[in-house]
Structure formats: structure tokens, C-alpha cells
Chain A
Amino acid sequence: MDSLIPLFIIIPLGIAFLIPLTWRLIPGICRFLPSTGMLALVVIAFFLLFYVGEGVVTYKVGGWEPMDNIPIGIHLVADGLSMMMLIIVNIIGMMAGLFSIPYINKYTGENYYYSLFSLMVAGMNGVVMTGDLFNLFVFLEVSVIASYALVAFGTSKYELEASFKYQVLGGIASLFILFSLAMTYWYTGTLNIADVAQVIRSGSEGSTALFIQLFMVAGFGLKAAMIPFHAWLPDAHSSAPSPISAMLSGVLIKAIGVYAILRLFFTMFNITIEISYVITTIGVLSMVVGVLLAIGQWDMKRLLAYHSISQMGYVMTAAGIAMIIIAKGGETRVAALALAGGLFHMFNHAAFKSLLFLNAGAVEYSTGTRNLKELGGMADLMPITSITSMGASMSISGIPPFNGFFSKLIIIIAAVQGRFYLIALLAVIVSIITLASFMKVQRYVFLDKTRTQKLEDAREVPFLMCLPMIIMAILCLAMSLMLIPGIRDTFLLNAVNTLLSVIS
């Protein structure tokens, strides 16, 4: 049973290395290989989630057992939070993989696309599952380098420029992360996450931990596109091919940005009041500035990219509220509620934001343009795209019964119960402005009847592109069922408890 854990790394890596070798012989099967692999991984992830439950299963790579209680190998950790993230990453990966089969047919060099796509998912699986800081850095770099190449895949002017900006900024962020890992090794003498936690908690308080945490916020915050570090996101997410935009905005900024900050800060370090103020400030700024920058956009994917910044701000605000409550010694019940809301919003955002990007990709595939002023009245030409887009827009704006409403409600309730009235008010205002922005998108793209003449012969997209959109729209509705007490315990509360387990 334990030996199923490294399969999450072996299968995508094996597919990534197999595809360039066998592309000439069996191109048809090779196109479906990444999606099939990820389907197998989703099944294994569900199975492991029910098997792990409340506890933690560590898998020691290479069989190196700890000597004198000092871990000397690389550990892969399977607990509630990592299994939940694995499910999300692989489901979105499978959907984007299916969507890209007709979409990438228009580009040359298809075999490199599927290989890089599998590499990116393998890197993200490794980041989510690892229990060792060195391993985190290596898999982070693997997935991020694959995403640099994928953003520049079409080699048009805009994609190359966006990829160059992304690479330089991402390179500097990786340097900050490497520096913080070096300082952690110097301070504690070990690189295993559980061991570092033990050394820091039993040691003396110092400002070294705050120094390390600030560099981690800078490095991982740039990967998660928080507000002072967001400059690469609008260009990279709008110029990339659409399934890659869905993967980048849907899972990459979560798995290597927000997840890494949550895992490292809650597990390894003592939660002090200074760092929780920093995280809450960054979260609130991202929430507000992201949505204000998004209203004035006329390019569909650029608008969606700015909304990604805003929604990730929601998650960081929720995490910051939980950290402030814990640092001040308040009730852990409210902190757990805030953290549950933040994690639930992260999972929901993966579903509806990738659906929105796939819709934008379908519109671009049929009409060849992304400008809101040129599009119009797509609802009668492309019915499936417009229905799923309406569902996703209602979901991101927070309208019941879609999943976005419930996660935003939990965050606002937690903010009010923790007496952060200003943050709750800002969250409600940002949600209203998001609703206004998406009503604009719906009107201009799908409902309004005026459009330019050359778009008259746009048709609905092929079946392989409709199927992921329909499945993800159903997922948007089904995820609001996660609040039913039986299902909630398995999926959501296990994840929250693993983060808070070192405190209470």
C-alpha cells in the first residue's frame, strides 16, 4: 500500500520521457497518454485519501531508515492535505490534457507539448507530496521550467515576450527560495521538514526565523502572484495557449505558491504576530488591487488573469486571519474555520478558474479573437460554451448554489467572528465588483447581439473540447456538496487538521 505513493512521480515522468521516443510510431495513442495517466492517478489519489484518513503516512525513498532519530533520506508524505491537493492537480490536469488534443493540433511540435505537460504535472505532484526541503526545490524548478517553455509554445511575439518576463522574475524568485533554504540549513542543520519543525520549536526564539520567513514570502509569493510580485501574471497567463493558461492559473500558482507557504509556515515555524500581519496585508492588498485592475480590461484572458490575483488574495487573507488568531492565542475554533474557508476556496478556484480559461480558449479557437469589443452574441452559436461559462461566472461571483458562494461565506463568517470587520467588508465589496466584472464579460461575449461580420461562421468546438468543460461545470456544482458533514470530514477537515495539528 505504501508503494503506491511514488507512483505519482513515476507515472507522469515516465510518460514525459516516453512520448518523444515513440511519437513517430503511434501519434494517436501518445496524444491520450497524459490524460490517461492522470486519470489513473486520480483513482489512486482517492483510494489513498480514504486509506490515510486522519493519520500521516511517510514513505522513505531508497529505504534509508532514520539513524538515531535523525532522518537521512528523502521522505514523501501522504496526509489529508497533500492527497486533497493531488486530487485537484490531477483532475484539472486530466481536463486540460483532454482539451488540448484538438487545440494543439494547430501548432507544430506537438510531441514536445505533451511531454512538457506531463513534466509540469510530475513537478507539481512532487512539490505537493514531499517532506524534504531540497526535494521541494528540485520539483518546484522542474515544474516551473516546464511552464516557462509551455508559455512560449506558440512562438508568436507576445508569447515570447511574456515568457521572457516570466522567466527573469521566476528565476529571481527561485534564488530567494534557495537562499531561504540555505539559511534554514545553516540555522537548523537538517533539511527534513518534520525535523526542522522539531529543532525550531525546541530552540530559542530569534530573529533568524523571521528573516527566513520573509525571504520565503518573497520567493513563494512571486510564484503565487501576490500583489507586490504580480507583474508577470497578466502577460504570461493571457499569452499562453489556453489549456496551459488553465493549468497555470488553476493549479500552478496554488501548488507551488500558496500551498508551499501554508505547509512551511504552519508546520515548520512558530507563528509569530509579525509574519501573520505581513501575510494578511499581502492577502488584502491582492484581493482589492487585483479586482480593481481587472475591471478596465478588454482582453478576455487578461481580465481572467487579474481575477486570479484577487481570488488568491482571498485564500491568503483567510490564512492570515487564522495565523493572527493563533498568534494572539484566541480560539482555535475560529482559526480552523478561517483556514477551512481558505482551503475550500483554493479547491473551488481551481475548478471554476480553469473552466473560465477553457471557455476563453474555446471562444478563441472558434473565432480567433479575444477582444471583448469584437465579440458578441456567441450564445446562439456556441451553446455549450456559453452555458458552462455562465455557470463558472456565477461561481466566481459567489452566487448560490455554486461552490464559490459557500467558500466566500465561510471566509466572511470567520472574519466577522474573529472581529476583523474591515476585512469582511472588503471581501464583500470585492465580491460585488467581481460580479460586475463578470456580468460585463457575459454581456459582451455571449449575450449581446452586435458582433463583427467575420464571426458569423463560428461553430461549436469539437467534442473533446466540450467534454472537459461539461465535466468541470458539473464539478463546480458538486463541490458545494462538500459541506455536508459526512463528506466534509473526509475531504476538508482532514486537510485543515493536518495544518493545525502542531498547534492544538
Chain B
Amino acid sequence: MKGMTIIVKNVTALLSGLVFLYGCYIVLHGHLTPGGGFAGGIIIAGSFILLVIANGIHYFRLNKEKEESSLFEGAGIFCFLLLAAGGLLLAVPVFFKNLLPVGTPGELFSAGIIPIYNIFIGVEVAAALLSIFLAFVIFKTED
């Protein structure tokens, strides 16, 4: 599919960075405001998908993108599992234990290990959704 008109291309180039930043904000403040890993990850994926849709599929080397994003997805979820199991080995032997110090509710650096979980989940969900989208697009162009 060809890309869209030049107005759309320029505006998307400006806007997709802002959408990415908004997604990162939602991921990082997951323990204070609604959102967290899933919703933030989907918004981050949305910013990449916006670029692909606006610029057309011949603009990028899609196979390389797909392999990179699959790698991010696998690495993200594996680090999440390592963190969760880390509580099993290091501290009191309990799965998923909250290791880091819990501060006062309402601050950014509080709630122990939950923001780090949110970051990994955000990376993993964004990469997974981007992989799904790229798989559909690549499959369509293989006609």
C-alpha cells in the first residue's frame, strides 16, 4: 500500500514522538494513575504503527523491523519472569515478592518493585502488538 499525502506524512513525523512520550508517561505512573503496563504499552505501539501507516510499507525494511521487535518482545517478558522469580531466590523465598523499599503512597518513587514490572510489561506489550501488526502487513505483501 502506498503512503498517504505529504501533509499527513509531515504531521505524523511530528506527532508520533509526542504519542510515544505520552505512552511512556502512562507506563511510568502506573502505580499512581490508571493505566500501567498494558495501556501504556499499547499507546507506545500505536506511535510506531502510526508511522508505518502514514509512510507506506515500502518506506521501511519491514523484515528487519519485525525481527527486532520480536527480539524486544521475548527479552521483555523474559526479564519480567526473571524479576518475579528473583524474589524466590534472593529474599524470603516467595514468588513475586515486593523487594525494593515501599515509600509513601502518592510519590513517584514508591510501591517497591511495581514500577519496574510496569516498564518491562510496557516494553513487552508494545513489541508484541508491533509484531502482530507487522506480521499482518508482511503477510499481505507476500502475494
Q: Which residues of A contact B (CB under 8 A)?
A: 2-3, 6, 10, 13-14, 17-18, 20-21, 59-63
What would 17 more interface pairs be, CB under 8 Å, given A13-B81, A17-B78? A2-B93, A3-B88, A3-B94, A10-B81, A10-B84, A10-B88, A14-B78, A17-B74, A17-B77, A21-B75, A60-B94, A61-B94, A61-B96, A62-B94, A62-B95, A62-B96, A63-B92
Chain A residues contacting B66 (CB-CB under 8 Å) are none
Least Cβ–Cβ distance between A170 and chain B, in angstroms: 20
Chain A residues contacting B93 (CB-CB under 8 Å) are 2-3
Interfacial residues of chain B within 67-86, with CB under 8 A of chain A in the complex: 70-71, 74-75, 77-78, 81, 84-85
Chain A residues contacting B98 (CB-CB under 8 Å) are 62-63
Q: Which residues of B contact A (CB under 8 A)?
A: 70-71, 74-75, 77-78, 81, 84-85, 88, 92-98
Binding site of B, secondary structure by majority: helix, strand, loop or mixed?
helix
User: Count the A-B residue pairs with Cβ separation under 8 angstroms: how many?
Assistant: 42
Which of B71, B74, B92, B95 is close to A6, meaning CB atoms less than 8 Å apart? B95
Question: Are the C-beta atoms of B74 and A63 separated by less than 8 Å?
Answer: no
Chain A residue, CB-CB nearest to B93: A3
Question: Are the C-beta atoms of A63 and B97 separated by less than 8 Å?
Answer: yes
Which of B70, B85, B92, B96 is close to A14, meaning CB atoms less than 8 Å apart? B85
Question: Are the C-beta atoms of A63 and B94 separated by less than 8 Å?
Answer: yes
Question: Are the C-beta atoms of A18 and B78 separated by less than 8 Å?
Answer: yes
Which of B70, B88, B95 is close to A20, meaning CB atoms less than 8 Å apart? B70
Question: Are the C-beta atoms of A10 and B77 separated by less than 8 Å?
Answer: no
Docked CA distance A63–B99 (Å): 11
Least Cβ–Cβ distance between A152 and chain B, in angstroms: 14
Chain B residue, CB-CB nearest to A23: B74
| Across the A-B interface, the 4 shortest Cβ-Cβ residue pairs | A3-B93, A6-B95, A63-B94, A62-B96
Least Cβ–Cβ distance between B92 and chain A, in angstroms: 7
Question: Are the C-beta atoms of A10 and B95 separated by less than 8 Å?
Answer: yes
Chain B residue, CB-CB nearest to A76: B95
Chain A residue, CB-CB nearest to B88: A3
Chain A residues contacting B71 (CB-CB under 8 Å) are 21
Least Cβ–Cβ distance between B130 and chain A, in angstroms: 15
Chain B residue, CB-CB nearest to A10: B85
Chain B residues contacting A61 (CB-CB under 8 Å) are 94-96
Chain B residue, CB-CB nearest to A17: B78
Chain B residues contacting A10 (CB-CB under 8 Å) are 81, 84-85, 88, 95
Chain A residue, CB-CB nearest to B96: A62
Docked CA distance A63–B77 (Å): 22
Docked CA distance A183–B97 (Å): 31
Least Cβ–Cβ distance between A131 and chain B, in angstroms: 14
Chain B residues contacting A2 (CB-CB under 8 Å) are 93
Docked CA distance A14–B77 (Å): 9
Question: Are the C-beta atoms of A14 and B81 separated by less than 8 Å?
Answer: yes
Chain A residues contacting B95 (CB-CB under 8 Å) are 3, 6, 10, 59, 61-62
Least Cβ–Cβ distance between B15 and chain A, in angstroms: 33
Listed A/B pairs (24) with beta-carbon separation below 8 Å: A3-B93, A3-B94, A3-B95, A6-B88, A10-B81, A10-B84, A10-B85, A13-B81, A14-B85, A17-B81, A18-B78, A20-B74, A21-B71, A21-B75, A21-B78, A59-B95, A60-B94, A61-B95, A61-B96, A62-B95, A62-B97, A62-B98, A63-B97, A63-B98
Docked CA distance A17–B72 (Å): 12
Docked CA distance A17–B84 (Å): 14
Docked CA distance A92–B90 (Å): 33
Chain B residues contacting A60 (CB-CB under 8 Å) are 94
